[in-house]
Structure 1
Amino acid sequence: MPTAPLALLGHLRPQRGRMTAGVLLGLLGSVMGLAQPLAAKQVMDDMGRGAPAYGPVIVLSVLVAAGGILAGLGHYLLDRSAESVVCTARRRLIDRLLALRVPVVERTEPGDLISRVTSDTALLRQSAPQAVSAAVTGSLITLATVVMMGLLDAVLLGVTLGVIAFVGIAVAAVAPRIGRATRHTQEAVGRMGAALERALGAFRTIKASGAERQEARALHVAAEHARRTGVRAAAWEAVSATLSAVVVQVCFLVVLGVGGARVTSGAIGVSTLVAFLLYLFALAPRIGQLVEGVVQFQIGSAAAARIREVESLDVENPEAENPEAASPEAEGAHRGRDGGPVRAEAGPLPAGVAFRDVCFAYRPGLPRVHHRVSFSIPGGGLTAFVGPSGTGKTTVFSLIERFYDPDAGQVLLDGKDLRQWPLAELRAAIGYVEQDTPVLAGTLRENLTLGAVDATDEELRRALRLVRLDGLTDRLPHGLDTEVGHRGSRLSGGERQRVAIARALLRGPRLLLLDEATSQLDAASEAALRDTITDIAGRITVLAVAHRLSTVTTADRIVVMEAGRVRAVGTHTELLGTDALYRELATTQLLDARPTPSRTALT
């Protein structure tokens, strides 16, 4: 992985043309500034001889005005380049974050990732122009100033160079500490963002639990840690700034004393001393600029290194084509303008799913969730997955979506291993409704068309009718364009579930995965949605995880899971007579009124 300075230069490289123009304009402005002390010396010499000084005064005025204008233009170009650098970095980070593999995101704090897109990239904006300007303009103008000072008086130049050398040694010692302190500060800010995101993500739970003070204390600890690291970074920056400021003042006093003695001895004239001091005054901010440039380069490098860490995380490649991959959906569907599936006349062909001896654990060292899970589901119909919590039912869906890959065994869609499918094509064939049915901030239309941007209003209305939400748009003040609030807070739990199902159906999937899709519906809505799912299952394959068995009693097949294994497969009626666990679940939920012996006695 590139070092931090190289990572920063990588971000600046695309803007090298505009930055070069900005640097050149700033350089021209600075060159005109270099000529000003000579013009001032000429004015003093003319006045000392009693000659008119109109010409030199006019030249001096032109130099001041032109130098200021050119320097301002250069500064604008550098700042504009910095904004482009930040925008490009943020776009790359956003693309990278959304392409990350699910396991990577689940083991990383979201707040820390967000801080890298926001605060770390902002440091690039702050450091880029200063670092570039100091590296080029500051260095060249400092060198030119030193040359001009040498032409005026070599002795005074020697005194000045001694002071500059001292500043350089001091800055070289301090700069690495500034970079490390800045990195620690950004990491602390990231941890604070993660803690805040955690609290806001469970805001109602915190309120209901009366845990505001408890969470506030945790956030205060994170904020205090960020403050301490920020103070440490500020202290090293202050040391750097103080060294440059104090040394420049000492330099002025030493030059003034030595120069005064040389004027008294007649070695140089007063006008030469004045011109040298003017160059010294011009040199002081250049030294400060160089010091600040080094500081900003260290800050920018630390930020670029954190950005580079995100860019090195594992990502999916939805567009990658496997030479063995087929396109089974091409027989029954064609692609939309946005790459999503659009139903052909006959509709998409239902997908068949099979697991063959699948073993899986979420991370090395953790217990396995699946132990040689095997089952086969033909295309079409409704298949339900039931069993106690923690038996691996939701994991089945995560493996089908390829959020994870099995540690052993195969997951097949239409007889092909999922790893032989391009991810974009695989997921275009699948509609997935998660257990917590996320609804995004934005309008109802934006939520429904997520992944189906070409859907027409008629298609939206049809999908809403299917999930019994057609009356919702009539009640909303702006219909489909009504804001639903953060995470759908302006919708009920049942409405959020049905919005998620309608969103999945709009994509025209060949396989629909429903993870507890009716858990927040009342009895009437559940019955209506059950009829809808039964109708959908007549045209595509539907897999449903259910704890409420009332939603799946009419399923074509039911897969009973226990302890990460498939225990039994059959219809509701078959399983009541053959599987003790299923019978116990059914009895608990009053689906079987017959007296049932205990599971222990049956097994």
Structure 2
Amino acid sequence: MTIQLFSEETTQTRWRDRMRARRAILASSRLAKAKPERIERVIGKWASKYPVTDMETARTDRAAVCSVSERARSQEGCLLRSIAVARAAKYRRRSITWCSGFALEPFRGHAWVEVGGVPVSENVEIADYTKSLEVRARGDADVSAASGESAGAGLLEPDRMMEPPPAAPVRPRDLFGLAKDKRLLVVAALMALVGSGLTLLIPGFIAKFFSDGSFSLPSLGWIGVFLGVLLASGVAMVFQYYYLQKVGETIVRDARGKLSNHLLRLQIKEYDERSAGDLVSRVAADTSSLRTGFLQIFVACTTGFPLVIGTCALMLFLDPFLMGTALALIVGLGFVLFAVSRLIQGASLVAQQKLGSLTSQVQRDMGGIRTIRATNATDSEASMLEGRVEDAWQAGLKMAKVQSIVSPIANIGFQLSAIVVILVGAYRTSIGAMSISELVQFAALLFILVSPLGQMASALSQLHSSLGSLQRINEILDLPREDELDMANLLSPELLKTLEASAKPNAPAIEFDDVVFTYGTREFGQEMDDADSLVLHKLNLQVPEGKRVAIVGPSGAGKSTVLQLIERFYDVNRGAVRVFGKDIRDYSRSDLRDVLGYVEQDAPVLSGSLRENLTLGLGDVGDDRCMEALERVNLGYLATRSEQGLDGPVGESGASLSGGERQRLAIARALLSNKRILLFDEATANLDSHNERQIGDVLRNMAGNRTVLVVAHRLSTIMDADLIHVLEHGRLVASGTHSELVVKSQIYRNLASEQHLV
């Protein structure tokens, strides 16, 4: 499961160790997503090839990995951390024992490394884990006997907590690493080198006009060659920029695809804590910035840098003294530009954050436009939106101020350098130190030099902006996926079969066993008995298979939370939730949700067609089955309302549907899925009495074939349920049928009395 128990404490490490750790983390990211068998096979090769490392070196490597990666410092990143430590040992031509296992109450997984049977720098909680996989390093047992390390040596104190430092900033090489098609880059680089080489020939042709010390036209052959060189240089540039644009667009496509895919797989808590508009901004704006930065840097490196080297070499050949003068001026200007450009990355990051806030505000207002109009809040929302626009403008203005300094400094500096160099060259010509043709050629080379230097200065400015965008993208990509530590993905197939066999026979469809839960983050050692923070308090309840069961209670009792825990949107802090006798943490989330149909309280509708919403997650479903499901919830008329039938649009977020129609559409999807368990969260809250009775009849008729669990506020919809559980403040206070609860439960009797049912 994925549970935040404690944060890793970081210690100071050497620069060399941190560089090795960064390399290990980058190389281990893909392996950390592989199946346990592949991880065991890869680490096993290292363990058989190299001798075991020592405890002190292992601690150093582990500390370095934790210091450079925020994800590796978290309990959720234990798999990446342990593999990266094993790889860091490999870089030292050593190996280390790698282990993974699980603990109970709550059921959770963990991966760690050992030397001589002693866990390296792990919390004392490691004693609660049972090993499921172990890849022992060569000669590790001898180290254990020789070292005399105790089982508790090197463990962190459980109550020593610290805030993790910020993640390491991205580097320019991370930006270049986004380009996957190296062949196109090689072709583009070759075209750039060809173009640069041809450009360097041009000053020599110009010097031919002054070969006799005065201006004279060369032969037609020379002029023809000169024009041919210009044409060839232009053709090479065309191909270079085409291939570069193709690579740049591929970078944007890959980044957007990877980021979008990861966004859909984050833990639910991340969507609770983050702004949707900011996430959209990262997918749209930040990915585009990667392309701009990559293109400018690549052009600067493959075109600008060779031109600079070539022109400097030719200028040095023509007149070393004049070249030294020009180089001194340019180097001094370069230091100034570099110092100024470092301010851009911070300003760019702030500007992008403000843009994300603006996007989020616009999205919020567009989604609630009817409520805003109905409450006459248009002016106040417009004022708030203007404030967001102003903040984004101010942030953009600050970035523009920094960027506006770079170009003028570069231009003025280059112009002054050129003037000084030409004056010095004229003086040297007057004293006979160089000829007029050499001075003309030197001046032409100098003007060629100005363009790539300005190009490189502009690229340096854009680089920091793009790195800010890449850092925002990596912030999301570094977040763990929902299924990253699912037991079904972490444990071996043999152990999974053992857990499957341990499922309780004849168990209820759903069972809560002493469940304790809070939406807040629990740190290691924190007590779970704080009544004010808990949503569920040692909850015990059962839902028999094939029955229709209801959960009722006052607002805030934890009714909807029960369904979200069954769906495993969140994991319990203590206790267990079982489905068909098996702890839901032993399922993969995909397998678990294959047996669960869920109708949310707000029943959102996705933009698209009626068919797309009806068959979401179900694959290819025939028209007949779709129409049958719609008819069962009295929505058959939706398919005839449009000439496109089931393919007719439902509007942005289902704007063309009423609240009741959206709820019934969600119910129809659940019925169409044929899931063994159906979960309904206030599924009839927006229905009129006629449709409410019809949906009630549908749910009633499903009893026996499927298990139905209904969270209800209106007791009239569940009075005939087989079993009713009453919750208050996260505790089960009564269970029974309607007639039984009216007699024995004061809370239920009050709810029924308020709705005139008794």
Same fold judged by TM-score > 0.5? yes
Match of 2:598 among 432, 448, 459: 432
Distance 1:493 1:326, change over 3 A: farther
Question: Is 1:361 matched up with 2:527?
Answer: no
Q: Give the AA of the match of 2:575.
A: G
Query: Shift in Å at residue 249 of structure 1?
Result: 0.6
Contact preservation (8 Å) 1:467, 1:502: yes
2:732 is matched with which residue? 566
Q: Distance in 1 between matches of 2:610 and 2:221?
A: 73
**More contact order relative to length (CA 8 Å, sep ≥ 6):** 1
Q: Deviations over 1:194-240 (max 9, x none)?
A: 22222222221111111112112222222211111111111111111
Match of 1:238 among 381, 404, 410: 404
Query: Shift in Å at residue 46 of structure 1?
Result: 6.8
Distance 1:433 1:38, change over 3 A: same
Q: Give the AA of the match of 1:142.
A: V
2:661 is matched with which residue? 495
Q: Distance in 2 between matches of 1:442 and 1:101?
A: 25
Query: Shift in Å at residue 424 of structure 1?
Result: 0.3
SS of the equivalent of 1:58 reads helix
Contact preservation (8 Å) 1:7, 1:301: no
Question: Is 1:305 matched up with 2:471?
Answer: yes
1:40 is matched with which residue? 206
Query: Shift in Å at residue 159 of structure 1?
Result: 1.8
Query: Shift in Å at residue 50 of structure 1?
Result: 6.0
Q: Distance in 1 between matches of 2:638 and 2:323?
A: 81
Q: Distance in 2 between matches of 1:510 and 1:46?
A: 96
Q: Distance in 2 between matches of 1:424 and 1:550?
A: 34
SS of the equivalent of 2:678 reads strand
Q: Distance in 2 between matches of 1:431 and 1:7?
A: 46
Q: Distance in 1 between matches of 2:499 and 2:174?
A: 45
Query: Shift in Å at residue 586 of structure 1?
Result: 1.1
Q: Distance in 2 between matches of 1:380 and 1:46?
A: 104
Match of 1:173 among 339, 344, 352: 339
1:398 is matched with which residue? 564
Contact preservation (8 Å) 1:27, 1:137: yes
Question: Is 1:132 matched up with 2:298?
Answer: yes
Contact preservation (8 Å) 1:397, 1:513: yes
1:249 is matched with which residue? 415
Q: Distance in 1 between matches of 2:499 and 2:721?
A: 25
1:39-58 counterparts in 2 under 5 A?
Answer: 39-45=205-211, 48=214, 52-58=218-224
Q: Give the AA of the match of 1:359.
A: V
2:441 is matched with which residue? 275
Match of 1:407 among 566, 569, 573: 573
Q: Give the AA of the match of 2:743.
A: G
2:307 is matched with which residue? 141
Q: Distance in 2 between matches of 1:502 and 1:47?
A: 92
Question: Is 1:199 matched up with 2:369?
Answer: no
Contact preservation (8 Å) 1:45, 1:271: yes
SS of the equivalent of 1:99 reads coil
Q: Aligned-residue CA RMSD in angstroms? A: 2.2
SS of the equivalent of 1:475 reads coil
Match of 1:578 among 744, 754, 757: 744
Q: Give the AA of the match of 1:358.
A: V
Q: Give the AA of the match of 2:463.
A: F
Contact preservation (8 Å) 1:179, 1:301: yes
Q: Distance in 1 between matches of 2:305 and 2:605?
A: 54
Query: Shift in Å at residue 279 of structure 1?
Result: 0.8
SS of the equivalent of 1:12 reads coil
Contact preservation (8 Å) 2:543, 2:549: yes
Distance 1:50 1:558, change over 3 A: closer
Contact preservation (8 Å) 1:353, 1:414: yes
Contact preservation (8 Å) 1:350, 1:511: no
Question: Is 1:4 matched up with 2:161?
Answer: no
1:458 is matched with which residue? 624
1:315 is matched with which residue? 481
Distance 1:105 1:7, change over 3 A: farther
Question: Is 1:382 matched up with 2:538?
Answer: no
Contact preservation (8 Å) 1:326, 1:421: no
Query: Shift in Å at residue 148 of structure 1?
Result: 0.8
Match of 1:110 among 258, 266, 276: 276
Q: Deviations over 1:21-70 (max 9, x none)?
A: 21221121111000011012124327959675212111110111110110
For normalisation by structure 1, the TM-score amounts to 0.91
1:179-190 counterparts in 2 under 5 A?
Answer: 179-190=345-356
Q: Give the AA of the match of 2:621.
A: A
Q: Distance in 2 between matches of 1:285 and 1:407?
A: 62
Q: Deviations over 1:306-354 (max 9, x none)?
A: 111001112112885354556999xxxxxxxxxxxxxxxxxxx997000
Query: Shift in Å at residue 79 of structure 1?
Result: 1.3
1:341-352 counterparts in 2 under 5 A?
Answer: 352=509
SS of the equivalent of 2:180 reads helix
For normalisation by structure 2, the TM-score amounts to 0.73
Distance 1:62 1:275, change over 3 A: same
Q: Deviations over 1:561-588 (max 9, x none)?
A: 1111111111111111211111111121
Q: Deviations over 1:337-395 (max 9, x none)?
A: xxxxxxxxxxxx99700001111110138711101110111111210111111100000
Q: Distance in 1 between matches of 2:216 and 2:437?
A: 14
Q: Distance in 2 between matches of 1:428 and 1:180?
A: 46
Q: Distance in 2 between matches of 1:467 and 1:51?
A: 91
Contact preservation (8 Å) 1:388, 1:562: yes
Give the structure with the larger helix fraction. 1
Question: Is 1:442 matched up with 2:630?
Answer: no
Structure 1, gaps ≥5 residues long? 330-348, 593-603
Q: Give the AA of the match of 2:571.
A: D
Query: Shift in Å at residue 15 of structure 1?
Result: 3.2
Total equivalences in the alignment = 574
Q: Distance in 1 between matches of 2:511 and 2:681?
A: 18
Q: Give the AA of the match of 2:751.
A: L
Contact preservation (8 Å) 2:209, 2:216: no
Q: Distance in 2 between matches of 1:547 and 1:36?
A: 84
Contact preservation (8 Å) 1:7, 1:308: no
Distance 1:328 1:495, change over 3 A: farther
Q: Distance in 1 between matches of 2:303 and 2:543?
A: 70
SS of the equivalent of 1:14 reads coil
Query: Shift in Å at residue 20 of structure 1?
Result: 2.5
Distance 1:350 1:241, change over 3 A: farther
Distance 1:94 1:355, change over 3 A: same
Question: Is 1:63 matched up with 2:220?
Answer: no
Distance 1:95 1:52, change over 3 A: closer
Q: Distance in 2 between matches of 1:520 and 1:270?
A: 90
Contact preservation (8 Å) 1:192, 1:226: yes
Match of 1:293 among 448, 455, 459: 459
Q: Deviations over 1:98-144 (max 9, x none)?
A: 00000111111111111111111010011111111212332222011
